[in-house]
Amino acid sequence: MTTIPDSDPVPPRGADLKRPSVARVYDYYLGGTANWAIDREFGDRVLGRFPLLRDIAVSNRLFLNRAVRHLTKLGIRQFLDIGAGVPTAGNTHQVADELALHEGRQPDARVVYVDNEPIAVAHAEQLLNKEGDPMRHEVIEADLRKPDELWREALATDVLNPDEPIALLLIAVLHVAQPDENGTEIGPAAVARLRELLPSGSYLALSHITDDGVPDEVQDKLVDLKKMYDESSSSDVIWRSRPDVQALLGDFELVEPGWTWTPEWHPEETGPTAKHIDFATPAHAVIWAGVGRKP
């Protein structure tokens, strides 16, 4: 039986505290508070072997922020953030609304957050209850592996208009295995279906860990990291090659500057208060990132 320390809040119903959760451990790397002792213990073991992972996580988060800012400037006002994880500073709606205020206009971005982790959903609900706009912000518990059902539930919130472009965000989601009931990996097939469902003019922003093209010493760490996650966490992980990651955008038209390591994607969009991270080389960030537009 798992013992919850007195300092930890009571978990939401349905939360699995028998094993570390990928979403909650990621929250721990980012300095969040929606994690439990089992997540922190695992995270500390990982960071002991691969200290750079915390900066990698933050750099990935900054890619999300920059993508949202860039797409907002391109006129996108709807975001479907799948695998959004546990809310931390710099959420999609916060970034879009802050940019609107900076530009002297009323915030108007609409966001639906999606996750299949009960704790992530519960914390997102708490955050939105405090600072969200129920007409523009919503969170649902749904599964990427069931894209049609997820799409129906997202539209049922009445936050998104399927006749207008939508930015689909899949940030650090697809390197977490997405097996069907037979154990077959269906992540790419689910993404392909979501691309079909998106209206013309929509965007897909995606980031994914890869061991392709990274420095040798980092590649060795990624081998250890995968083993640790596969043996101990709630989900297996997949390090796809860069061509396999790029294929997830299908025939979407790449937004400049194309596929890059996370620090290299529109660095000018980094907010003035964001943490500055110095990698020895961009490839030390290990996360390949890109944004595409549906014709």
Q: What is the pLDDT of residues 33-88, one digit of tens each?
A: 778 899 999 999 999 999 999 999 999 999 999 999 999 999 999 999 999 987 67
pLDDT at res. 127: 86
Within the chain, which residues score under 70 in pLDDT?
Answer: 1-16, 87, 89, 272
Answer whether 111's CB lies under 8 Å from 136's CB: yes
pLDDT at res. 13: 58
The class level of CATH for 59-214+237-293 reads alpha beta
Among candidate residues 143, 28, 44, the one with its CA nearest the CA of residue 86:
28
Residue 155 CA to residue 153 CA, distance in Å, equals 5
pTM strictly above 0.85: yes
DSSP state of 249: G
Answer whether 263's CB lies under 8 Å from 59's CB: yes
pLDDT at res. 88: 72
Residue 129 CA to residue 26 CA, distance in Å, equals 23
Residue 25 CA to residue 31 CA, distance in Å, equals 10
Residue 262 CA to residue 145 CA, distance in Å, equals 25
Which residues are CB-contacts of 274 (< 8 A; sequence separation ≥ 6)?
62, 65
pLDDT at res. 12: 55
pLDDT at res. 2: 41
Q: What type of residue sits at position 264?
A: E
Please, is 18 exposed, middle or buried when counting C-beta atoms within 10 Å of its C-beta (0-12, 13-18, 19+)? exposed
pLDDT at res. 1: 36
Length of the chain: 295
Residue 85 CA to residue 81 CA, distance in Å, equals 9
pLDDT at res. 185: 97
Token pair listed for 175? 């390197």
